[in-house]
Every structure is written in C-alpha cells, then in structure tokens.
A and B are shown apart, each in its own frame.
Chain A
Amino acid sequence: MSEEQYKSGSRLEQVLTSGNFALTGELGPPKSADRETVEKKANLLKDSVDAANITDNQTAIVRMSSWGAGLIAKECGLEPVMQITTRDRNRLAIQSDVIGAAAMGIKNILCISGDHHSFGNHPTSRIVHDIDSVQLIATLKKMRDEKKFESGDEIRNTKKSELIEPRIFIGAAANPFADPMEFRVVRLAKKINAGADFIQTQVIYDMERFKKWMDEVRDQGLHEKTYILAGITPLKSAKMAQYMKENVSGIAIPDHVVERLSEAEDQKAEGINIAVEQMQELKNMEGISGVHLMAIGAEKSVPGIAEQAGFLPRPTQYEKIS
C-alpha cells in the first residue's frame, strides 16, 4: 500500500491494515513541565509497542498536555496516539488542537468523553462537553475526509489557498462492561458509523463477559468495519483488584481472578502472568486486531510483558499479510 492510500499513514494504521496483530501502550504525562519523565517513559515503550496513547488530563487531573507530551514521545521515536477528551475543550479549541497536532506530525487521535471533573483536582471548574465523543469522532472524520470544519467551513487559509486537512487515524473507546449492558454494542456501532478507524476497549478481566460482547460484535459484523484492540492492565495485587472491583464503575473483575492473585506467592508476577495469558488468548480471538496494554506508572514492565506474551519484536515491514 502506498503512502497515499492510507488515511493517516501512521505506524499504527500500517500495522493494522497490513494484518499484523497490533500492540499499543499508554503513557501518562507528568503533572509538571518535566520533559525528562516523558522521555524516559517513551524510551521504555518505543521498541515494545507500535504506538502509545498519551492521556489527556487523565482522571481529570491537570497534566502536561496530550499533544505536548506526544511531541516529546515522537521525538524519542515512540508514535503517539493523542487522546482528546470532550470534557475540557469546546469544538473551537479541539479543532485547532487537531490541526496543530497534525501539522506537528501526530497521526493518531483517540476520542473520549473523559472522566468527570468532580473526581479530579479541579472539581470547581466548569465542565465543557460542547460535543460528545461520538460527535468528536464525526468531527474528525469530517475534517479529514470532507476537509471541512464542524461548522462546514473549508480547512484552508483563504478561498484561494490549498485545502490542508489533518490526516488522522481516528480512534474511539468502548466499554463492554458498563451498564446498560444492552446498549454497549449499539454504542460501539454508533462510534464506528461516525468514523472510528480503531477501537480500544476498557480493561478486560472478565474474559467470559468480554467473549459474549465479542459474539454480539461479530454477529453484527462490526469487527470487519474497524480494528478492535482489547484493553489489558496487569493487576498488581489482590488488594488492588478488590479495590477496583468495588470502587471503579465500568470495570468488572471476577472472583476467581482475585482468588488466583491472593493465593499466589508473588502477586505482582501472577498479575503479569494473568495479563500474558489474556494477551495470548486475545491474539487468537476472531475479530480482535490487537492489544492495548495500559500500564500507567508501570511502563517499565511493558517490554517484559510484551516479550513474555511473544509480541516482540514489533513489525517494521508492513507488507499485507494474507
């Protein structure tokens, strides 16, 4: 496939379209202007994953901006997936960030609504949600494919100048575990219809429930319209698992997983074993195109996990695999 035929030409897009099983990571920007931390994390991740999500004020706590940290990562050789939440910016700010990021060579953007700001460190701020995540996907698609802003204005400086649209590989999130359960596949379909090129799912611990969700996804043929990357986060301990089970909505952790961890001698290693087993199982699951490995604050463990799961080395040639 030549450069021209790609939507964005990002490494992630090339890995996926060539039929390789993708591996994406996650990089949480620091809560300061600390460039070094970003570089350190990027260097840890760059040879183990195809691209890494750069979170956007994750958990509604102010951090280095997604595009700022994304550029540093890019300079280190790690391809960024810039996350944009609809929580903090209106459609003007978002679109200007998108063309700015595209001009700087950022080629993947993940569209999410973002954690509610009441959970973060500025709970007295104003929430935006001018557009929602599905509308954001549609806006990016319109910018890329129709070369128009959300308002309908063409993306060019003057009437006579060239149309220079952002070439973006558009991502979206999907949560198979939140309520209303029956709405979850509908929501995925809406995101795909709006223009999501790839999907990253919420962290999976309940494989049985995830398989049921995938059955429905396949029944509707949605896996053929987008690339689905399954979310994995290694559990650090039985205590953390129990806490997440009880306190984080939208995350389902079955009892047998908590039990397995609590019975293990080295709980951290067992958490990684579980993650590795899941990654191997997902690699063979129909309709799954990759794994999104979220080890925020544990970037160090990513190369080891990728190695143990047999995901290394990452592809560098993107010839179509038939």
Chain B
Amino acid sequence: MIIAEQKPFKEIYESVKDSEKLLVLGCGTCVTVCMAGGEKEVGVLANQIRLAAGKDGGKIEVTEHTITRQCDEEFFDEGASEKIKEADSVLSLGCGVGVQHIVQLYPDVVVRPGVNTQFYGATLQQGIWTERCAGCGECVLERFEGICPIARCSKSLMNGPCGGSSNGMCEVDPENTECAWQLIYDRMKRLNKLDKLMDYQPPKDWSHDRDGGPRSVSREDVLF
C-alpha cells in the first residue's frame, strides 16, 4: 500500500488558517491502514485546527468526512460532493493522488495536502511501515528471488553489496534498514541458488520508471 505520514501541524495550519469553511477529508484505504489520514486522524486533526483557531481568534468552521477512496471517482458520492462544494477549502488526508483527484473533480475548490506521501510499503508491525517497492515499472524480483535491490538497497545496486554492509544492516541507517544484499545473499543460500549471484545484471532500463516521463496504463478490454 501507499505509506504516508502526517505533515507537521504548523505547516498544515499555515496552509488552511485563512479558510472560513474547511472540510477535512480522510481516505479509507492506504492512509487509513498506515494511520496517517483515516477517519480517526481526521477527527484529531480537525480538533487540533479548532483548538488552534480558537486560540488565535480565527473563525474556521471545520467539518469532517472520510470516503473509501479518494483516488476513485465512484466514491465521491452525493454526500461527499455536497460537503466539498460547501467548503471553501478541503484539507485532504489522502495521498498525493487523492489531493490531485479532488482538484480534478472539483476545479473550484482549494485543496491542501495534509500528509507527506512516502512510499509503497508493508506493515512490519502496528506502527512500523517499511519500503518494499519503488514502482520502477519493470519488475526485477525474479532475478533476485523476491528481494528488490532497487527499492531496498540505499544505492539501488544491482550487482552486489557495497562496502557499507555491516552485520546485516545498511550503513545509511544501521538501526532500521537491513542490507538488501545481505537479504538477497541469505535468500539465495536458503534456496540453494548461490550461483545466481554471479549473473551480471546489465544497466536497468529506467524508461519504465518516472525517468520516461509521467506514466499511465490503459486496458482496451475493460474500457467502456
């Protein structure tokens, strides 16, 4: 899923404090699971804004709403639409996709982002999320037996570890980040495929990544 983290309150408040009718809009998918922008976070943030506005005499009328998915038009039902149109600003706690989708659907509303969208990751345990995929557009997991050096090696090295691997951890963040190449090595050993490590991996074709420009996918068979 997409992992996000709430922006510092000060930054959020600066961006919405001149608004009179503010809608804090949560998203019920990824950012709910990573506890950055679901219904609960909407509640806390809305109350924070109310308290801050009360303190400096601001007159923001804050309403709260959360929809299932901000990146899908079908979830913007009548109730959500009405609330968005009534507001002069929307503070979206969806990821960067959600923010832009609201802008596209409601061109007259000012939309502010409430979270910093981080990465595609997994939940290691409640409260800890970690990067697993870089969305490079050309999956190489088969070559590395299911551990991605593009997303998980600090230098995205494709032909083995650098000198900064120590006791299984990466020197860039030895407390939290495992060395992807230690993981790949251990995995190859477990699967009895150590000879696979000798394969030369040629330069990657980054044209499938963002380097090829903004991407889109279309499927003729499912188009209406």
Q: Is there any pair of Cβ atoms, one from A and one from B, under 8 angstroms apart in the complex?
A: yes
Tell whether A113 is near chain B: CB-to-CB under 8 Å. Answer: yes
> Which residues of the partner chain B approach A116 to less than 8 Å between Cβ atoms?
154-155, 164, 171-172
B162 x A180 contact (CB < 8 A): no
> Which residues of the partner chain A approach B181 to less than 8 Å between Cβ atoms?
180, 183
Q: For chain B, what secondary structure do more than half of its interface residues adopt (helix, strand, loop), or is it mixed?
A: loop
- A-contact bits for B63-77, CB 8 A (1 contact / 0 none): 000000000000000
B151 → chain A closest CB, angstroms: 13
Known contacts A130-B206, A186-B160, A187-B160; A179/B200 CB under 8 A:
no
Query: Chain A: how many interface residues by the 8 Å CB criterion?
Result: 35
B161 x A179 contact (CB < 8 A): yes
> Which residues of the partner chain B approach A138 to less than 8 Å between Cβ atoms?
200, 202
A213 → chain B closest CB, angstroms: 13
B65 → chain A closest CB, angstroms: 36
> Which residues of the partner chain A approach B162 to less than 8 Å between Cβ atoms?
113, 133, 175, 178
Shortest Cβ distance from B189 into A: residue? A182
B185 x A87 contact (CB < 8 A): no
Tell whether B198 is near chain A: CB-to-CB under 8 Å. Answer: yes
A220 → chain B closest CB, angstroms: 11
A127 x B155 contact (CB < 8 A): yes
- A-contact bits for B53-89, CB 8 A (1 contact / 0 none): 0000000000000000000000000000000000000
B160 → chain A closest CB, angstroms: 4
> Which residues of the partner chain B approach A86 to less than 8 Å between Cβ atoms?
155
A113 x B155 contact (CB < 8 A): yes
A150 x B203 contact (CB < 8 A): yes
B163 x A175 contact (CB < 8 A): yes
Tell whether B167 is near chain A: CB-to-CB under 8 Å. Answer: yes
Known contacts A116-B171, A183-B181, A193-B200; A178/B163 CB under 8 A:
yes
A14 → chain B closest CB, angstroms: 29
Tell whether A189 is near chain B: CB-to-CB under 8 Å. Answer: yes
Residue from A132, A135, A190, A250 whose CB has the most chain B CB atoms within 10 Å: A132
List the 8 shortest-distance A-B pairs measured between CB atoms, nearest first. A250-B163, A134-B159, A249-B166, A175-B163, A187-B160, A249-B171, A132-B157, A178-B163
Please give 12 more A-B residue pairs, beta carbons under 8 A apart, in addition to A132-B158, A250-B163, A250-B164.
A91-B203, A118-B154, A132-B159, A134-B159, A134-B200, A138-B200, A139-B203, A175-B163, A183-B161, A186-B198, A202-B163, A249-B166
- A sample of 15 cross-chain residue pairs with beta-carbon separation below 8 angstroms, ordered by A number, consists of A113-B162, A116-B155, A127-B155, A129-B156, A132-B156, A132-B157, A134-B158, A134-B160, A135-B159, A178-B162, A179-B161, A182-B185, A186-B160, A190-B160, A250-B165
